[in-house]
Structure 1
């Protein structure tokens, strides 16, 4: 986690990027670098850099696969940043914005959408979105736009969008429904600016989205990564063994962020539970949801119960008698491990099956 940064943030990292006709060689892996900030009244001089590249121009295509291929080809032309970046999520709340006025949304893995060229582009990985009021930050709309845009550019970020969510041509080229597009892009409203920055590094692709209007700043940091390591599918036999020996088992079934919808990669685990219950007709289970300690405790408890109920409903849809199942939600009340790290929080976000004895 970076140190809290004010909206006049200037990073002591020089900008090193360029567009080329082919994929550049990745530089040596960077080392951690300190992040520095300067007072608003006397910001440091902007670092000298190569001529800023033009935004990626991706032509919209009727077929989604063609558009995605075009976007990927353009992104591959952007040079890898050779200088080290601050630790994810790169930029934090201004120090003047108290915790009570901070609005954070984050996930270790999710799919988000950004604009590249004039096309909506899907990005998968971990993200952190922060939103705060200009009045709390004690800065103007102009200053916030200038300082945050420059901060990302100084890290090496390349602005890649030509279209914006409030542009009629962009809306028309991407389905024509501005409300759906705003929701898909996490766009704050028609009065907001919208800038997407791409940061390719030796360790992977990063993104920053900067949105500013006359009252609110919204910043989204994204780090692309695969989700395979978070998928833990346990066989029906393994579930039975754990239930017989311990009376319970923790499963890691993926859900949409802050929702009770089971993701497609979570369905195989539910199928294994159904397989076991069909073989073991006397087995009764309590399905119990658990979360980490991030967010509102009351909301976490409600969400964990809704997710447990979603698993029960999926099992019933697979042909399991609902009288053999019950659902409960514990929120963050029963952690398996400390919530002080990403790994710990991921382990605590789980669905447990508890064997219910019947007299």
Structure 2
């Protein structure tokens, strides 16, 4: 009995040791796997990003000897006043927006592009000036993150450029500050070319202003009509909240000029049947007219007409053009 118990105990101890070794091996393997992507930091903490001095002006990069910038204009291959860019931090995607410059490099003086020269030149330069490396490595394994990064594709006047998901094309993400502004750089190369995508971060600023009574008067005095894009509920003649705000401006226009008379004319795109579009455009014109009457405007100064889709401003071949054709026009009655 004692011998049996001792053998059993030894078996348990040996099994436990084997499991501990397996766990240690698994941890070591995981650690190796986790270092493959060379993650520098998980997120971009701008308080830790260096503010660089004496590095010139946007886009901050020039071509080293042996390389040139393709289709170069003002130091860039392509430029976009406003764009978005997806930046991989090693664990997540950091979305930025602002002005984007793209520099595409090729060989100069008839020489082929030299990938090693490109990589050595620009990685050394970024390290030298003190830009912070956020990430350097291959595309992430996560398919959702890969799909987001593949949205980094921009079509300019000369070409379409973006981050490429292909073998032997690792990329890096850097960040720095300069002159009170924030910058993100994505850099990638392959055997054919090198690309630098540099973005000056800036929040989007809405510049569209409410179509005011003053602007309506200016347009009517100039062309005899004002074109309004009033928001109604889908396939209905009921006004949405911002549509009611435009009606308020029309009322202000009419109150400012008691002699002004208007024909309120509704238009649709070509979605739906001709009969339905005619009915809907008439109903929407009447909605605006009666909303103005409810604000005290003499209805004798107003007329309402519907033209359906018979008078498009643009061809109904895109959603953007259809949106332009869905409108209400205020036409001055002589």
- TM-score normalised by structure 2 residue count: 0.50
The answer to whether residue 207 in structure 2 is matched with residue 227 in structure 1 is: no
Q: Is 1:161 aligned to 2:135, yes or no?
A: yes
Instruction: Give unpaired runs (5+ residues) of structure 1.
Output: 1-53, 59-70, 252-267, 286-315, 329-352
Pick one of 149, 159, 164 that aligns with 1:188.
164
CA contact (8 A) 1:134 1:215 kept: no
Unaligned runs of 5+ in 2: 1-37, 154-161, 229-240, 255-261, 268-280, 286-307, 316-327
Shift of 1:325: 4.0
Is the CA contact (8 Å cut-off) linking 2:69 and 2:77 kept in structure 1?
no
Residues 124-143 of structure 1: matches in 2 within 5 Å? 124-134=97-107, 138-143=112-117
- For the pair 1:99 / 2:71, whether they are aligned, the reply is yes
Q: Counterpart of 2:125?
A: 151
> What's the offset of the Cα at 1:79?
3.3
Give the count of matched residue pairs: 219
Change (3 A) 1:112 1:227: same
Question: In structure 1, how many angstroms separate the alpha carbons of the residues matched to 2:128 and 2:309?
Answer: 57
Residues 284 and 356 in structure 1, CA contact (< 8 A), matched pair in contact too: no
Structure 2 equivalent of residue 257 of structure 1? none
Contact 2:264 2:331 in 1 (8 A): no
* TM-fit CA distance, 1:273: 7.5
**Alpha-carbon distance change, 133 to 90 in structure 1, aligned in 2, over 3 angstroms:** same
Distance 2:248 2:105 in 1: 48
Cα separation, 2, equivalents of 1:219 and 1:202: 21
Aligned residue in 2 for 1:218: 195
8 A contact 2:87–2:149 mirrored in 1: no
- Which of 314, 328, 331 is the matching residue for 1:327? 314
Name the structure with the higher strand share: 2
Matches within 5 A, 1:193-272: 193-228=170-205, 231-247=207-223
- The Cα of 1:276 is off from its aligned counterpart by 7.7
Q: Say if 1:234 and 1:158 are closer, same or farther in 2 by CA, change over 3 A.
A: same
Range moving further from structure 2, 270-279 or 132-141: 270-279
Measured on the aligned residues, the alpha-carbon RMSD in Å equals 4.9
Q: Cα distance, 1:356 vs. partner?
A: 8.6
**Residues 229-248 of structure 1: CA distance to partner in whole angstroms, max 9, x if unpaired?**
x5131324243122123339
Instruction: After TM superposition, list the pairs within 5 Å mapping 1:16-31 onto structure 2.
Output: none
Of 74, 88, 96 in structure 1, the residue corresponding to residue 58 of structure 2 is 88
> TM-score normalised to the size of structure 1?
0.47
Q: Which of 104, 108, 124 lines up with 2:81 in the alignment?
A: 108
Structure 1 distance, partners of 2:333, 2:105, is 52
SS of equivalent to 1:232: coil
Task: State whether residues 235 and 272 of structure 1, in contact with CA within 8 Å, keep that contact through their aligned partners in structure 2.
Answer: no
Change (3 A) 1:96 1:274: farther
**Preserved contact between residue 56 and residue 160 of structure 1 (Cα < 8 Å):** yes
The DSSP-based 3-state class of the residue aligned with 1:235 is: coil
In 2: Cα distance, 1:218 partner to 1:358 partner: 59
State the alpha-carbon separation in 2 of the partners of residues 217 and 270 from structure 1: 49
